[in-house]
Structure 1
């Protein structure tokens, strides 16, 4: 009778620091500031195609509870 060897599985472990979500939120907030917006950004495309830039910015981007802006469609 032949013995079957057990399958070997290598576990992949990824450690995420406790401050990573805060760093991501800070980076998103900084990138959303008007002085950091580039021409190829979605927000500028919305503003560029509108007669009233501020109106489009407030209508198309709505703030979330965590402080980020969400593109509503």
Structure 2
């Protein structure tokens, strides 16, 4: 599905894309997966960066509150590993 957002790529939404979207929506929004925050304490961010993208999971009391991820921007693909790791922390704190 991420190819649909690239420049010079024709936007073609077919059965395959719709099925992938519905599966993602079901898995990420299910009541069994996400929980509501309780108060303002005991939040933990789990962050990971690779040369493909950034990912974050926000948890509280061992329950998942939110997920966030994104692909790297063109210029970020040249970053060294420690810069990517710092970048994912900044990304996490902005959500």
Length-normalised TM-score, structure 2: 0.23
Greater relative CO (CA pairs within 8 A, separation 6+): 2
Would you tell me which structure has more strand in proportion to its own residues? Answer: 2
TM norm structure 1: 0.28
